[in-house]
Amino acid sequence: MNLSVVILAAGQGTRMKSSLPKVLHGVCGRPMVQYAVDTARALSGQPPTLVVGHGAEAVQAALGDQCRYVVQWPQLGTGHAVLQAAPALSGQAGLTLVWYADMPLLTAESLQRIVDRQRENSGPITMLTVVADDPRGFGRVQRDSSGAVTAIIEEAQATAAQKAIRELNVGAYCFDSAFLWAELPRLPVSPKGEYYLTDLIGVAVSRGRRVEAVALDDAAEAIGINTRVHLAEVEAVMRQRINRRWMESGVTLIDPATTLIEPEVMLEPDTVIWPNTQLVGRTRIGGNCLIGPNCLIRDTAIGARCEVVASVLEGATVEEDVSIGPFAHLRQGAHLASGVHVGNFGEVKESYLGPGVKMGHFSYIGDAHIGAGSNIGAGTVTCNFDGQKKSVTTVGSEVFIGSDTMLVAPVTLGDRSRTGAGSVVTKNVPADSLAIGIPARIRKKSDG
């Protein structure tokens, strides 16, 4: 049976007090609407229809061709929002699944349950409910003495007795499409001048039809984001879910509460993550690594058996058996081959450090290629920028760079060459030779 999906994302999100559209606020590093879109794609073969309004251009720019879009302007309520999809979808028979983009914790499994229930019954609607002590301003689910659902009462319209009801409307519905598109244009206007999708439940009941309700097992799935306090609650639950999944697949998290792992990160078993560590973007980490405490690692690939302490890695590639930190900074294009050591206050950008290179103390290596087994003395700097342009430094293999050497690029140091402490190298240094002084002169063949 055909399943259409409509996701509502047109509201301003006034209670967020933000210039950013609500659905673009991030949860674990991704716009919250992205979770709804991913869930929709897991449930239905066709792209979902997203109802946009406030910040429509920004939302469409963020999601691109993952969705079809319909614009709701002005925003006259959730019923009015779904109605905007009628021209695009009302010709399709089957079922229509509708939910709100501000509930990123809602799982595909729970939505599948209302789809399955709707498939097997003759009523026009199956809705998702949750039983919770804190009503959080949700619509209340009213049932009659036989237990049948009779209406959803929005909090603003609820009597004191109705407000006491603890079964709440989650905000996800599976409709018989024919019923939805026939009744939606006839929704009554609410006292606030809006058209509530939730009033369709009362409409169905008044037509003598039965409304089915499925209750969530895990109330956390129903946390909708209306304020920044809710945003933080959802972030915490999402983080716990991701962390639990990694622990179940063999990664040790010393302190999950202070470990943030974004959804696209990949980890291998027997890696240990120490507290206060953030793994973000498309980061990949091999097995048997020790990461943290106090690391920020973004869009970086790390091989097996590496150790990274209190460091920031962004857009870097790190092979196996590398040790980094404390207090190192790998920037875009840093590539550390196997066995490299970068110690405290080392910064590497757009550079390759060959196998076994040692860079123990406060150095800057930018736009450089360092050969295997070379030693970069404390305080070495590649002077790669002359104020106008960037230039390249090339260092051969088994080179010994003395402490505090300035390598004024473009410059090349041959294999097995050495520089004296404090030298300023402005000219190429041949293989097997020693350069010292300011500016550095070639003194003699190196002893090797």
Query: Residues interacting with ligand UD1, by CB under 6 A?
Result: 8-11, 51, 53, 72, 75-78, 80-81, 100-102, 138-139, 152, 154, 168-169, 171, 196-198, 224, 226
In the bound state with ligand UD1, the residue whose beta carbon lies nearer, of 138 and 175, is 138
Regarding 102 and contact with Ca ion (CB under 5 A), the answer is: yes
Regarding 235 and contact with Ca ion (CB under 5 A), the answer is: no
The 170-209 site mask, x for binding Ca ion (CB under 5 A), equals ----------------------------------------
SS3 444: strand
Any catalytic annotation for residue 361? yes
In the bound state with ligand UD1, the residue whose beta carbon lies nearer, of 131 and 438, is 131
SS3 313: strand
Selection from 104, 36, 27 nearest residue 66 by Cα: 36
Smallest distance, Å, CB 54 to ligand UD1? 8
Size of the site for Ca ion (CB under 5 A): 3
- Among ligand UD1, Ca ion, none, what does residue 105 contact (CB within 5–8 Å per kind)? none
- Give CB contacts under 8 A, 24+ apart, made by 138-142: 138/168, 138/169, 138/170, 138/171, 138/222, 138/224, 139/168, 139/169, 139/171, 139/198, 140/165, 140/167, 140/168, 140/169, 141/165, 141/167, 141/168, 141/169, 141/213
- Among Ca ion, ligand UD1, none, what does residue 139 contact (CB within 5–8 Å per kind)? ligand UD1
β-pair partners for 317: 301, 335
Smallest distance, Å, CB 53 to ligand UD1? 6
Side-by-side strand order, sheet with 277-280: 259-261, 277-280, 296-298, 312-314, 329-330, 347-349, 364-366, 381-383, 406-408, 424-425
Smallest distance, Å, CB 74 to ligand UD1? 8
- Beta carbons within 10 angstroms of residue 336's beta carbon: 30
In the bound state with ligand UD1, the residue whose beta carbon lies nearer, of 201 and 291, is 201
- Among ligand UD1, Ca ion, none, what does residue 196 contact (CB within 5–8 Å per kind)? ligand UD1
- Among Ca ion, ligand UD1, none, what does residue 96 contact (CB within 5–8 Å per kind)? none
In the bound state with ligand UD1, the residue whose beta carbon lies nearer, of 129 and 283, is 129
In the bound state with Ca ion, the residue whose beta carbon lies nearer, of 149 and 222, is 222
In the bound state with ligand UD1, the residue whose beta carbon lies nearer, of 100 and 362, is 100
SS3 213: strand
Residue 193, classified by CB atoms within 10 Å of its CB into exposed (0-12), middle (13-18) or buried (19+), is exposed
Smallest distance, Å, CB 155 to Ca ion? 12
- Among ligand UD1, Ca ion, none, what does residue 77 contact (CB within 5–8 Å per kind)? ligand UD1
Residue type for 282, please? R
Regarding 224 and contact with Ca ion (CB under 5 A), the answer is: yes
Regarding 350 and contact with Ca ion (CB under 5 A), the answer is: no
SS3 251: coil
Q: What is the token pair recorded at 302? A: 């790390």
For the chain, what's the residue count?
Answer: 448
- Among Ca ion, ligand UD1, none, what does residue 362 contact (CB within 5–8 Å per kind)? none
Q: Which residues contact 392 (CB under 8 A, 6 or more apart)?
A: 367, 368, 369, 384, 409, 410
Q: Which residues contact 389 (CB under 8 A, 6 or more apart)?
A: none
Distance CA 235, CA 257 (A): 11
In the bound state with ligand UD1, the residue whose beta carbon lies nearer, of 60 and 276, is 60
In 67-84, which positions are buried (b, 16+ CB within 10 angstroms) versus exposed (e)?
Answer: bebbebeebbbbbbbbbb
Smallest distance, Å, CB 146 to ligand UD1? 23
Of the candidates 25, 341, 361, 369, the residue annotated as catalytic is 361
Assess contact for 129 and 141: CB atoms under 8 A: yes
- Among ligand UD1, Ca ion, none, what does residue 152 contact (CB within 5–8 Å per kind)? ligand UD1
Smallest distance, Å, CB 155 to ligand UD1? 8
Smallest distance, Å, CB 179 to Ca ion? 24
Distance CA 100, CA 42 (A): 16
The residues annotated as belonging to the active site are 361
Tell me which residues touch Ca ion (CB under 5 A).
102, 224, 226
